[in-house]
Amino acid sequence: MKEITLAYLLAIDLLLYSILFVYVFRRKKLIGIQLGMNISQVMGGVAALLAGIVFILLFPFHFTLITIISAAIGVAAGAAFGLLFDYQTCLAGLTNGFIVGLMAPMLGSVLDMPGQLIWFIHGLFLFCILFIVISIQRS
Amino acid sequence: MFTLLLSGWSGIGLYRVYHLLRKKRLLFDDHFTLVICMSITMLASFLFSMYTILLFPDLYAASLLLGIWIGWKFGALLRTPAQLTGLYNGAMGGAMGTMFGAVLQNPALCRIPVESAAAVDLYSIPFVAACFYSCVLLSIRHSLRL
């Protein structure tokens, strides 16, 4: 039951990511260079954090492989959001996603009660999405 | 031995980028300076403090100081406001690299199950990190040409 819940959460995250990507893609002419850099860094970091913690709880016996995969996911998310704006923005998002992706499986395997942290991180993710949407509409 | 080779490779790459940036440091605007300083300092201090921990397992303070020193050098190379960014990111990367190297050497710190503790080897994650680092260095050299 637990694994099924985690898999559903991953699917919901992927869906939210694609919705936000399409939203940012349609408004990328309105977004300045500073906000673009913040969006790319935040999205790369949060993607790596979610992927690392959820994958290490799903498959606790493959630490090395999970670390590499979550770093790759962070790099891909940071680069995808950064390439909407600028080359340098892409570089910043890529680096941040890589560092957070190397750290996240370590955090996930230390956890005692993983349920609370998973809900906390998903709350953080929704909060970040809300802030990004508000700041895009204000700019 | 393998770690020594990897650190030599990364060190040569870092030195070449340092000289290239030093030659062209008058050409940058503020945004570019910030991005270069942030990305290269964080990755380089992470990698070098990880190598230091893997080579000399007792020198915790030295690896942290190495990260801060890399950040200080790159920040001082570019501009004064960038020095703060470089120092902060260097300290951050140094602390993370120290933690990561300690976990790689002793996986029981992180409560990885005993059956898979043998699967955590010392070489694959540093190798992937070094490959990614050289890709980032290449893209920085490419972005100087844009």
Rounded to a whole number of angstroms, the distance from the CA of B129 to the nearest CA of chain A is 9
- Assess if residue B15 is contained within a domain: no
CB B124 to CB A68 under 8 A? yes
Q: What is the mean pLDDT of chain B?
A: 80
Average pLDDT of span A25-45: 86
pLDDT at B19: 79
pLDDT of residue B118: 61
Cβ-defined contact of B110 to A109 (cutoff 8 Å): yes
Q: Can you tell me the distance from the alpha carbon of B6 to that of A4, in angstroms, rounded to the nearest whole number?
A: 40
Q: Is residue B76 part of a domain?
A: yes
Summarised one tens digit per residue, pLDDT across range A62-118 is 788 888 899 999 999 988 888 888 888 888 888 889 999 988 888 888 777 777 888
Residue B146: which pLDDT band, with cuts at 50, 70 and 90?
A: low
Average pLDDT of span B112-133: 74
Instruction: Give the three-state DSSP class for A127.
Output: helix
Does residue B14 sit within a domain? no
Of B42, B112, B116, the CB nearest to A95: B42
The answer to whether residue B74 is domain-embedded is: yes
Residue A76 to residues A81, A118, B1, B42: CA-CA distances in angstroms? 9, 22, 32, 18
Angle at CA of residue B107, ends B106 and B108, nearest 5°: 90
**Reported confidence tier of residue B113, pLDDT bands at 50, 70, 90:** low
Give residue A24's pLDDT band: very low, low, confident or very high (50, 70, 90): confident
- pLDDT value of position B106: 75
Mean pLDDT (whole number) for A34-45 = 88
Assess whether pLDDT exceeds 60 at residue B51: yes
The answer to whether residues B106 and B117 touch, using CB atoms and an 8 Å cutoff, is no
Structure tokens at A13: 């995250």
* DSSP result, B7-59: HHHHHHHHHHHHHHHHHTGGG--HHHHHHHHHHHHHHHHHHHHHHHHHHSTT-
| CA quadruple A15, B136, B59, A111: dihedral, nearest 10 | 0
Q: What is the DSSP string of A81-108?
A: HHTTT-HHHHHHHHHHHHHHHHHHHHHH
pLDDT at position B144 is 77
How much is the pLDDT for A13?
85
Size of interface A-B (CB pairs under 8 A): 77
Round to whole Å and give the CA distance between B136 and A96. 12
Listed by number, the residues of chain B in 126-145 with a beta carbon closer than 8 Å to a beta carbon of chain A are: 128-129, 132, 136, 139-140, 143
Query: Residue B47: is its pLDDT beyond 80?
Result: yes
This model of the complex carries an ipTM of 0.85
Picking from A76-80, A125-129, B69-73, which range would have the lowest pLDDT averaged per residue? B69-73
Q: Is residue B101 part of a domain?
A: yes
DSSP B74-138: HHHHH-HHHHHHHHHHHHHHHHHHHHHHHHHH-GGGGT--HHHHTT--SSHHHHHHHHHHHHHHH
Residue-level length of chain A: 139
* Residue B105 falls inside a structural domain: yes
Inter-chain CB proximity A88 and B32 less than 8 Å: yes
Structure tokens at A54: 């959820």
Kindly indicate the confidence band of residue A10, based on its pLDDT and cuts at 50, 70 and 90. confident
Confidence label for B103 from pLDDT (cuts 50, 70 and 90): confident
Residues 6 or more apart in contact with residue B135 via CB below 8 angstroms = none
- Name the domain count of chain B: 1
Structural domain containing residue B99: 30-145
- Kindly tell me if the per-residue pLDDT of A1 is higher than 60: no
Span A18-43, average pLDDT: 86
CB contact, 8 Å: B110 with chain A?
yes
Query: Chain A: which residues have CB within 8 Å of chain B?
Result: 33, 37, 60-64, 67-68, 71, 75, 87-89, 91-92, 94-96, 98-99, 102-103, 106, 109-110
Domain assignment of residue B141, yes or no: yes
The closest CB to that of B39, out of A61, A92, A103, belongs to A92
User: Mean pLDDT over residues A48-68, rounded?
Assistant: 85
The mean pLDDT value for B12-18 works out to 79
Does B10 reside within a domain?
no
